[in-house]
């Protein structure tokens, strides 16, 4: 099965039904929210920590939206951010979004205080870097225009504070240097924000236990062909087939050891068939030094379960 993305239109069609997070999906405009915007039972600290971790893998920022379900303006901002095409696109590409329920001002106060966030009315916005430090905070009155939030002002705010694009070749060179210094190899995966199969693969790779298993022997790095400077050029330099996700392992000297091409010119993309899963696993386990049997099992179980879920969904 060629579970890879060859075109924007195809991958958007794949991505929409797979995504349940409204901050990530881009499709037809939904109706105004009829269910609570804020999960009042959520562990906000845990959600923020997870978002920061994922932002680090993707060179993204974390957008915190403080408010409550009783807050009409909070619901208006949520509706804008989940219906405005340009804002949705920017959020999908550049941010991990966490809604933080503040109750009536008393909930999650210690969490916000730990970042130096001082809410001045609701909704209130704050942006964290992938280093888990506060970059900026913003009261949203300045983003209003009459009885609603101004899309241009909200978009300008988000654009101003998005992460600076990274240079793909420098990112790869740094990973190789890191691998050399720590007696490891490099696992490189190429993807783009619009690629649904890339997100499915990353959902596996970024699981904490899976990431720890890979890190035992590999420096894992993503080359984003859309968001990184020189991303397409680095992909072209190495890729021997077509489509994304495409991935490879390198030794500490930068030599290609294995790729996601199961046969010459045949990229497996997201593996779903048994032989594809075997090929995926062999890329990590051939010549491994530090990954334990339990970690190998964790990795295989994760990709097998994800593949089964994809098949069950009819993809």
Over the stretch 206-216, which tens digit does the pLDDT of each residue have?
999 999 999 99
Helix 274-285 / helix 293-312 crossing angle, nearest 10 deg? 150
pLDDT given for residue 314 in this prediction: 84
pTM: 0.86
Q: Do residues 64 and 161 lie in contact, with contact meaning Cβ atoms separated by under 8 Å?
A: no
Over residues 185-198, the mean pLDDT reads: 97
Per-position b or e across 294-312, b if 16+ CB within 10 A of its CB: ebbebbbebbbebbeebee
Its sign, for the CA torsion 68, 71, 74, 75, is positive
Angle at 53 between CA 36 and CA 304, to 5 degrees: 85
**List of domains in the chain:** 31-160 (3.40.30.10), 168-312 (3.40.30.10)
pLDDT given for residue 181 in this prediction: 97
Over residues 121-143, the mean pLDDT reads: 97
pLDDT given for residue 288 in this prediction: 87
pLDDT given for residue 26 in this prediction: 36
24 pLDDT more than 60: no
pLDDT given for residue 89 in this prediction: 97
Over residues 228-254, the mean pLDDT reads: 97
Which residues share a beta bridge with 136?
127
Q: Which of 269, 221, 279 is nearest to 241 (CA)?
A: 269
- The residue written with tokens 């957008």 in the block is 63
Q: Which has more confidence, 9 or 91? A: 91
108 pLDDT more than 80: yes
pLDDT given for residue 3 in this prediction: 67
Strand-pair category, 218-224 with 148-149 = unpaired
Average pLDDT of the chain is 91
pLDDT-wise least confident of 7-11, 63-67, 126-130, 298-302 = 7-11
Q: Do residues 73 and 122 lie in contact, with contact meaning Cβ atoms separated by under 8 Å?
A: yes
């Amino acid at each position: 099965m060629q579970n890879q993305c060859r075109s924007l239109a195809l991958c958007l069609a794949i991505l929409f039904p797979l995504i349940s997070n409204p901050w990530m999906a881009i499709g037809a405009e939904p109706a105004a929210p009829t269910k609570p915007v804020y999960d009042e039972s959520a562990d906000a600290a845990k959600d923020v920590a997870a978002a920061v971790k994922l932002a680090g893998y993707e060179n993204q920022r974390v957008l915190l939206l403080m408010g409550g379900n009783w807050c009409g303006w909070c619901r208006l901002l949520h509706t804008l951010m989940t219906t405005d095409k340009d804002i949705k696109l920017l959020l999908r590409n550049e941010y991990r979004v966490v809604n933080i329920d503040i109750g009536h001002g008393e909930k999650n106060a210690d969490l916000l205080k730990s970042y130096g966030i001082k809410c001045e009315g609701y909704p209130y916005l704050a942006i964290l870097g992938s280093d888990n430090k506060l970059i900026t905070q913003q009261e949203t009155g300045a983003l209003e225009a009459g009885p609603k939030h101004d899309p241009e002002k909200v978009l300008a705010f988000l654009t101003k504070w998005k992460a600076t694009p990274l240079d793909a070749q420098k990112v790869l060179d740094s990973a190789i240097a890191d691998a050399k210094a720590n007696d490891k190899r490099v696992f490189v995966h190429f993807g783009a924000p619009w690629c649904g199969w890339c997100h499915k693969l990353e959902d596996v790779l970024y699981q904490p236990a899976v990431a720890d298993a890979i890190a035992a022997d590999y420096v894992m790095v993503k080359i984003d062909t859309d968001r990184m400077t020189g991303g397409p050029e680095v992909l072209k330099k190495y890729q021997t087939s077509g489509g994304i996700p495409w991935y490879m392992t390198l030794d500490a000297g930068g030599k290609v050891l294995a790729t996601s091409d199961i046969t010459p010119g045949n990229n497996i993309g997201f593996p779903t068939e048994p032989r594809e899963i075997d090929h995926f696993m062999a890329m990590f386990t051939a010549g491994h030094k530090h990954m334990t049997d339990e970690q190998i099992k964790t990795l295989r179980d994760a990709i097998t379960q994800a593949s089964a879920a994809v098949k069950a969904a009819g993809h």
